[in-house]
Amino acid sequence: VSEARAREFAAQYGYAEYMVERYVQFIGARDTIQLLKANEKPLVPTIQVNTLQIHRESLQKRLEEKGFGVEPIPYLLNGLQIERTPFSLGATTEYLLGYYTLQGAASMIVGESLDPQSGERVVDLCAAPGMKTIQLAQKMQNQGSILAIDISTRRLRALEANLARCGVKNVVGIQFDARQFSQLKYPADKILLDAPCTGSGIIRKDPRRKWSRRLTDIRQMSRIQKQLIQAGIEGLREDGLLVYSTCSLEPEENEAIIAYALATFPVELVEPPIQMGDPGLMLTKWDDQQREMKKTRRFWPHLHDTEGFFIGVLRKCAR
Ligand SMILES: C[S@@+](CC[C@H](N)C(=O)[O-])C[C@H]1O[C@@H](n2cnc3c(N)ncnc32)[C@H](O)[C@@H]1O
């Protein structure tokens, strides 16, 4: 596809030109058009059942009695897809009682990939507003400990309110710059790094992201993400797991961060336990790591009907 065609698509769908040009370069013209079309369709809402408070079947029944159309998500034990929404999912009694959180399907795979156990010491490096922290706590049955870090005091307040609503009891929240995490000398069994990103995967929820970010934002985010993953790996115990995720489609924020970690630190990639999504992009820049990059996962709006999402699971090796 010529640059002129990419410009045409960008104008037709309301994107910054550089974004569409890059997508054509990374995934080809056919997939790019499919992606732009899929981004026009609203996401079917999905929720994460809070098993600290209720079983999936009981929640499904309660919501159905209120007129919601509810279907299980086949690959997620505690995920439900909401096909019909008579009123806002954030305004039900069940929501206020903390029986569920609003979560994208691909986001729910993050917690499954970290698979934290009851007695473990877990750190959520970029935790607010706490949706994934809640999922981790319920997988740990409120046992063990989670240190939930976020740089934003305002967002931490939201995290604390969400945790209280959902009956989570094994979390301590702190306002801190996670880039300094290793200085805390707090060796973690498992770390979640759900990194800040440019968010081009969530255009279906926030169409302003078609044009609100520039190439320099992607580069700046990529720098911060490298600092965050370095701090995470340094603060992880040997043999510990770190899950890296973003809701961005940009390779500089995804595969490039994993490639940087593999080249710089004693870590190896591990396959996520749920075989959903596509393998990460294998671009020539990361030639020597191409085969490894297959173990990362990408979720695409046009292929998986989810938000755009990336997950990489790293294990820290013994030196
Ligand atoms: C993608 S959001 C996290 C969403 C959260 N994991 C959830 O599931 O609800 C990224 C978060 O990173 C935080 N953040 C950005 N830079 C940070 C830093 N240097 N240290 C700690 N947190 C940071 C932001 O305030 C934001 O809350």
* DSSP 8-state assignment for residue 282: -
d(CA 160, CA 166): 10
Q: What are phi and psi of 69, to 5 degrees?
A: -95, 115
- Weakest-pLDDT range from 2-6, 97-101, 283-287, 294-298: 283-287
Question: pLDDT confidence of 219, banded at 50, 70, 90?
Answer: very high
d(CA 181, CA 235): 7
The pLDDT score that the predictor gives to residue 1 is 56
Q: Is the peptide bond before 251 cis (omega within 30 degrees of 0)?
A: no
- Determine the atom of ligand 1 nearest the C-alpha atom of 179: 19
Stretch 89-117: mean pLDDT, rounded?
96
Is the pTM value of this prediction over 0.85?
Answer: yes
Vertex 244 angle, CA 125 and 293, to 5°: 160
For β-strands 236-246 and 309-316, DSSP reports them as antiparallel
The neighbour count for residue 314, using CB atoms within 10 Å, is 26
Enzyme catalytic residues = 247
Residue holding tokens 């995290």? Answer: 159
Q: Which of 126, 254, 310 to mutate to test the pocket of ligand 1 (most atoms within 8 A of CB)?
A: 126
Q: Are 72 and 60 in contact (CB under 8 A)?
A: yes
Question: pLDDT confidence of 287, banded at 50, 70, 90?
Answer: low
d(CA 213, CA 203): 12
Distance 30 CA to ligand 1 centre (A): 34
Residue holding tokens 């695409």? Answer: 300
Question: pLDDT confidence of 292, banded at 50, 70, 90?
Answer: confident
Stretch 64-80: mean pLDDT, rounded?
96
10 Å CB burial of residue 140 (0-12, 13-18, 19+) is: buried
Instruction: Please report, as a single letter, which amino acid is at residue 231.
Output: A
d(CA 78, CA 100): 10
Sign, CA torsion 23/27/29/30: negative
| Nearby residues of 313 by Cβ (< 8 Å), 6 or more positions away | 113, 114, 241, 242, 243, 244, 269, 270, 271, 272, 295
pLDDT digits (tens, 9 = 90+) for 136-173: 999 999 999 999 999 999 999 999 999 999 999 999 99
Stretch 298-315: mean pLDDT, rounded?
97
Distance 3 CA to ligand 1 centre (A): 35
Two tokens at 179? 């880039």
Q: What is the dihedral of CA 71, 116, 258, 273, to 10 degrees?
A: -50
Residue holding tokens 């305002």? Answer: 154
Q: What are phi and psi of 123, to 5 degrees?
A: -125, 130
Q: What are phi and psi of 276, to 5 degrees?
A: -120, 160
Spatial CA neighbour of 19 closest among 29, 28, 10, 8: 10
Q: Are 133 and 145 in contact (CB under 8 A)?
A: no
Two tokens at 258? 């994993």
In b/e form, how buried is each residue of 1-30, taking b as 16+ CB within 10 angstroms? beeeebeebbeebebbeebbbbbbeebebe
Distance 164 CA to ligand 1 centre (A): 19
Q: Is 298 helix (H, G, I), strand (E, B) or coil?
A: strand
* DSSP 8-state assignment for residue 276: -
Ligand 1 pocket, Cβ-based, cut-off 6 angstroms: 126-132, 149-152, 155, 177-179, 194, 196
Stretch 170-182: mean pLDDT, rounded?
98
